[in-house]
Amino acid sequence: MTNLFRSRTDDELVAACNRDAGEEAAKAFSELYRRYRDYVLRIALRFTDDREVAAEALQEVFAYLLKQFPPPGTGLELRARLTTYLYPIAKNTTLTLLRKARRDRAPGVEPDELTAPEDPAAGEDDLDRLLRGLSPERREILGLRFIDGMSLDEIAEALGIPTGTVKSRLHHAIRELRDSQAAKEFFES
């Protein structure tokens, strides 16, 4: 029976979750979790190095997704790939949990007053360091396009911005990388 669910498309699995609150829906949801848990965890880890926060985000994202299906929810309609739907949920959940974790660690300090770690590049490889030199918006666009393989329209939908803005950010990110001294050093080594 498990192989039957592995051969189904995401649309078929979502439809099974939408129409049935029984065993078939549970197996369909389990298959969605199996397919996308690594993706959600990878997204969470883009926004935090704290593996505990990322693991908590993973749990919260799938708890949220589960609540979209009957009986508590009214169902989910996929208008794009599931990754396009999951990306903003994973990102926003991770950022919320990260802000909460920072507040809990530093009582009496506002999140805007928190400073970055003294050596943010500790433990990073050269490529990570190169990408960290970009603005968060440009780094995010590059990740969605070249790591996650999203189309420009999917990125626009996931981020809630116009496709033209996606194109502009992607163009500027690539140009900034190409022109940076760090990139020249990276590719020469």
Residue 101: per-residue pLDDT? 80
Using an 8 Å Cβ cutoff, are 54 and 45 in contact?
Answer: yes
Asked if 50 and 98 touch (Cβ cutoff 8 Å), the reply is yes
CA diameter of the chain: 58
Q: Which domains does the chain have, with CATH numbers?
A: 1-106 (1.10.1740.10), 123-189 (1.10.10.10)
Q: What are the tens digits of pLDDT across the range 118-141?
A: 444 444 566 667 777 788 888 899
Three-state secondary-structure class, residue 92: helix
The pLDDT of 50-68, averaged and rounded, is: 95
Q: What percent of the chain has pLDDT over 90?
A: 52
DSSP 5-52: HHTS-HHHHHHHHHH-SSHHHHHHHHHHHHHHHHHHHHHHHHH-S-HH
Output the CA–CA distances (angstroms, integers) from residue 188 to 54, 122, 123, 124, 180, in the order listed.
34, 22, 21, 19, 13
pLDDT value at residue 116? 42
Q: Assess whether pLDDT exceeds 50 at residue 77.
A: yes
99 or 40, which is more confident?
A: 40
Checking if the pLDDT of 27 tops 90, the result is yes
Q: Span 56-63, mean pLDDT? A: 97
Q: Residue 179 CB: number of other CB atoms within 10 A? A: 9
More confident residue, 131 or 44: 44
Query: So what's the pLDDT on residue 49?
Result: 87
Lowest mean pLDDT among 82-86, 88-92, 110-114: 110-114
Prior bond of 111 cis (ω within 30°):
no
